[in-house]
Structure 1
Amino acid sequence: MKRLAITLTLLIALASASSFATIFYSKNEAMELAFGKTATVENLSLFPDEQETAAIQALAKTQLESGMFTFYVGKENDKTTAYAAIETSTVRTKPETLMIVLTPEGELRNVYTLAFHEPPEYQPSAQWYEKLVKKPLAEMELNKGVDGVSGATLSTRSALASIRKVMAVYQIMIKQKAH
């Protein structure tokens, strides 16, 4: 009987621990958020070489985990309206997935939380993300242009690292090559 009680307690604890996982948008819903219903969306797969990787990492102040990076490019009448990238990172022990949307000029336009698996109180608010809009990459650091969120320090650091990475990839792989 004691074993059954311990087993039930463990199962309840595991069930409640996994109940934090929240998926807010599917990929299709995310693309609609980023580009609207009428835009065409193209994939832009980028493969930075060693020099580009070093430049991106220096600019982003974070590591690239992969040798490939994908942007989604929204277009209306063959004109680019925005770029978006989906980034997944580990906050404490569980992942968060963000969609980072940039203007055609590379400014931050929106950040959407697509999925968050940590407890909800650790998630930065939409208002916090709104304060980052149009901030230059150089100011995307906690206490150097961005205020932290009490109780969500790791989440905000993770989000900022993802945003810096996307902005740096844009600057090195898209903007510089266009000029």
Structure 2
Amino acid sequence: MRDLSRIILVVSLVTSGWLGTAEAKIFHSRESALKVAFPGAERIEHRNVFLTPKQVEAVKRMSQAPLQTSLVRVYVAFKHGKVFAYGFIDTHVVRTLPETFITVVGIDGAVLGVHLLAFQEPLEYMPAKRWLGQFRGKHLKPSLRIRYDISGIAGATLSALSVTRGVRRVLALYRVIFGRK
């Protein structure tokens, strides 16, 4: 009887909002994400790239981050008839739940922007736009890490680490696929 009372109490608190529930948040559909990522683009194409085992290992080595698949979708944005940026959507687990963001890379290999598309962990651990902005202009190099080129997020260390690993992975993919630094 006492256990039943506890169950009823917990269910009541959860349904009334007194105890936290999962706060999954989706910010953009694929279409709206591409508009945010590539403002002013005349055309956006996508290309599916199948990485060889050697390329997969190169991405892992350069990024020092895991790569779950050898199939990569790259969004290519055009302005005035020329390519001006590439976008890579990255989904990975932060702690126990996924987050998705798009990293936009310029033709020089520098990050043009990182935009959060979905975040399934509790929202208090979500990286702020201002924090994501510190990736702008960064290239893949050893110092592209938390406590070096990138500041951490107090109370959300796993979120900061996972985004930083994801951006490193995207920059390594860019180098391997397009052969540019």
TM (norm. structure 2) is 0.88
Aligned to 1:126, which of 125, 129, 143? 129
Equivalent positions of 1:14-53 (< 5 A) are: 16-18=20-22, 20-36=23-39, 38-53=41-56
Q: Please list every run of at least 4 consecutive aligned residues from structure 1 whose deviation after the TM superposition is greater than 6 angstroms.
A: none
Cα–Cα, structure 1 residues 48 and 11, in superposed 2: closer, same or farther, change >3 Å? farther
Matched, 1:173 2:150: no
**Quick one: distance in 2 between partners of 1:44 and 1:32?**
17
Local SS of the residue matching 2:21: helix
State the partner residue of 1:104.
Answer: 107
State the partner residue of 2:14.
Answer: 13
Instruction: State the AA in 2 paired with 1:41.
Output: I
> Any unmatched runs of 5+ in structure 1?
none
The structural deviation recorded for 1:81 is 1.8
State the partner residue of 1:57.
Answer: 60
The structural deviation recorded for 1:167 is 0.5
Q: RMSD between aligned alpha carbons?
A: 2.2
Local SS of the residue matching 2:46: strand
Local SS of the residue matching 1:165: helix
TM (norm. structure 1) is 0.89
**Quick one: distance in 2 between partners of 1:137 and 1:48?**
19
The structural deviation recorded for 1:38 is 4.8
The structural deviation recorded for 1:7 is 4.1
**Quick one: distance in 1 between partners of 2:80 and 2:133?**
28
Instruction: State the AA in 2 paired with 1:163.
Output: V
The structural deviation recorded for 1:37 is 5.3
Give aligned-pair identity as a percent.
Answer: 30
Instruction: State the AA in 2 paired with 1:101.
Output: V
Higher helix share: 1
Matched, 1:160 2:161: no
Local SS of the residue matching 2:154: coil
State the partner residue of 2:140.
Answer: 137
**Quick one: distance in 2 between partners of 1:37 and 1:111?**
17
| Number of aligned residues | 176
Residues 35 and 81 in structure 1, CA contact (< 8 A), matched pair in contact too: no
